[in-house]
Structure 1
Amino acid sequence: MEKFIGPAIVIDCSEIKEISLDFLKMKEDEIKNVDFVLFYSGWQHKWNTERYFDEFPTLTTEAVEWLAKLNLKALGFDSISVDKMTAELLPNHKVLLKKEILIIENMTNLDKLISKKFELNCIPLKIEKSDGSPVRAFARVEI
């Protein structure tokens, strides 16, 4: 269970087209003190529309490789993927999963957690021989 619970932050990337290493370095101290890094792009508001599959902010190769070197449990996104929809080989998936960093996609309400200290719980269903699962994700905010 400890793989699915821990301190987290939300990084607001709603005003950018790609999540670069330079952008992440501005939050380096915060990132290095958590188990989960969640990215709010505002994409949750496009859910159930064709625009949900448009080009949403994704991590650059340099950024994902830097994050993979950290002791993170997972990265979370309010969009459909950690990779661009046009990326057939899913390079970001491969880098993260090779390091056993989980990927949480299609999250919602991340905007309510920007600048807050909280514990993330993202409890998956136990599905035998599966490479993925829906999760019940919830935050316990410090008061």
Structure 2
Amino acid sequence: MNTETTQALAPVRQFSALMPSSPRGAQLARHAAVRQLTSWERPFERAEHVVAELASNAVRHGHVPGRNFRLTLRLAASGVLRVEVSDTCAERLPRAPGPGPADPDAESGRGLLIVAAIADRWGTEFGPDPRKTVWAELDC
């Protein structure tokens, strides 16, 4: 897992929304990202997959009853898009993908492999308690 973030500058454009911590919320997050990137006239295909995986992980592994997750998109002047999905379950950390192939019979465990393959960088941040954010950056 790469924890280096390259674009700490203020974003040129930003979108943020709370989503219900449910499968429907993960789907809404994906649709919202596509809609927002389309309105910014930016390609959305890679980001759509990243949002789908991170939102699905937030619902599946970061769900706390009665609490939503947050989707944030930040577009820097350089064209780097940062996708962030924050939940309130900091004690459940994402595990970096292992070096070998995922178990073909497993029902889960491929999401971060997909994120690592699509994104140029990804990592996690903590705080304020009990928040955890999993982020991915996509270069232009």
What TM-score do the two structures reach when normalised by structure 1?
0.33
What TM-score do the two structures reach when normalised by structure 2?
0.34
